[in-house]
Amino acid sequence: MHSKKLALGLLAAVAMVSFSAHAEFKGTAEVSSSHAHVSGPMRDTNVNSGSVLLDLDKGHQFGIGAAHAHAWGAKASQLNLRSVNPIGQGYWLDSHLDMSDKGSVFARNHGSSMLNWRVPAHNLVLGAGVDYFDMRGGADALSLKVKADYQVQSMPLVLHADALWSDDLLNTGSGGRLGVGATYGQVGQWTVSTRYETGRAQYETVKLPAGLNAGNSKRLEVGARHWVNKDWGVSLNLAHVDHRVYQRNGVVGGLFWNL
């Protein structure tokens, strides 16, 4: 517990240094609140979160956020850090680090990093990376993932596809998961999006005994973002999860604005 508090303190200090070093900063901020109704033996969930993504020098970005959840009969908080770093012409690394005070709602620690690169000749953005989850009970999970985003010519439509393979030591098994989606609209005015994914359930916001999260699940979500003016807007997201143990129907409402 003391080591975790020390780590959180060090990360907070790094964030404060970044703020002070870039007093005249630009970026985006977002807050959201969600509620999900859960069927079966589990309880409903509520999550409130907020985040800031700062534009630093030479295309670098630094983000910090926090979330608080009351889910499955337990409460937990989470600290989120993000770093986006260009590493060459058309290449960039997007990394995340999430830490929770408990391992029963959020993963205790979660780190991910994805290398992205543009293929302008084919209107593509490709990515490959890894996810690592340090989960409840001292178990962990490692995932390899790939993605592809395709910009359709002559219309404001982006098609998404991704896949991952996860080796889950908590549930002593491994398996894959596939996802597809689309985003239509103009950033700065409005966008609508949809996503469907199926396969082995990755670590979800769920307090379950070991083994119950080992089955496959399906997830469908739709979302919309509307810019009220050039500086701020509102968002709405609806999601349905069909798991072999439960079903979850959730709604997320949010505000976002430019700094």
Q: What per-residue confidence (pLDDT) applies to 202? A: 55
Q: What per-residue confidence (pLDDT) applies to 20? A: 43
Q: E strands, 120-189, where?
A: 124-134, 140-151, 157-168, 173-186
Q: What per-residue confidence (pLDDT) applies to 208? A: 43
Binned average pLDDT, 10 residues per bin, the chain of 259 residues: 45 48 74 89 84 91 93 84 94 94 76 96 96 71 92 96 82 80 96 94 47 69 96 96 84 95
Hunting for tokens 């999900």 — which residue is that?
36
| Residue 110 vs residues 40, 95, 122, 133: alpha-carbon distances, Å | 27, 11, 33, 5
CATH architecture for the domain at 2-258: Beta Barrel (2.40)
SS3 assignment for 7-69: HHHHHHHHHHHHHHHCCCCEEEEEEEEEEEEECCCCCCEEEEEEEEEEECHHHCEEEEEEEEE
CB 80 within 8 A of CB 65: yes
Q: What per-residue confidence (pLDDT) applies to 173? A: 67
Enumerate the β-bridge partners of residue 24: none
Domain extent listing, the chain: 2-258
Q: What per-residue confidence (pLDDT) applies to 205? A: 41
Q: What per-residue confidence (pLDDT) applies to 192? A: 98
| Residue 178 vs residues 131, 163, 191: alpha-carbon distances, Å | 15, 5, 23
Q: What per-residue confidence (pLDDT) applies to 104? A: 64
